[in-house]
Amino acid sequence: MFIVTGFEPFAKFKSNPSERIAKYLEEEYKEVRAEIVPVKFEEAKEYARKIIGQNPEAVISFGLADGRPQISIEKIAVNIMDSSTPDNSGFKPFRMKIFDDGEDAYSSTLPVYRILDALHENGIPAYISYTAGTYVCNTLFYSLLYYARKMGKSIPVGFVHLPSTEKMALKRRVPYVEYETMKMAAKIILDVIYRLSSPWP
């Protein structure tokens, strides 16, 4: 089983492309199961624990990074919760650790450079990002890696930030990537991961 996650809408956004992408992948592949995570710091940590505890073959999370011009494959998760924007429960952490016993940072266990090369080979705009921020996206990313280590799971775990879609960017001067391109990118990412471990239909 391969688990993909997306997030519910948050802040000013009425929709979240990461939620749509996760559900799309679940519909496309019988081996994939989607989890839609609340945009809440503490609940994201609990979701991560439950997801890793289900013994998936791999976990990839998608999130929204409004304003970024390309799909960004995250390399590093940091042990910090800090935000001036409240989560969907109204919580605004300030310079807090995600886990007191966690490392300062963990590195993605996805084959990030192979993924980047595959996306570029298919003409998809993407880059490696070395900061997933300090909002709920980073908290989920870090927590997944934390629990994978704690439970002794040597599996691919990582995070991909998606820009706004063309519809979201309408009437707003922000960069975007077309939703159909995001769908293609998500399938390529899955293919790269599974080609490293087992046949993928």
120 classed as catalytic:
no
Interatomic CA distance for residues 130 and 161, integer angstroms: 12
Q: Kindly name the residue from 161, 166, 178, 180 that is annotated as catalytic.
A: 161
Q: Kindly name the residue from 137, 166, 178, 180 that is annotated as catalytic.
A: 137
Quote the tokens at residue 13. Answer: 């956004």
Return the SS3 of 145.
Answer: helix
Q: Kindly name the residue from 74, 103, 166, 180 that is annotated as catalytic.
A: 74
Closest CA to 109 of 81, 149, 163: 149
Count the alpha carbons within 13 Å of 103 in the hemisphere toward its beta carbon.
12
137 classed as catalytic:
yes
Closest CA to 62 of 115, 117, 8: 8
Q: Which residues are catalytic?
A: 74, 137, 161
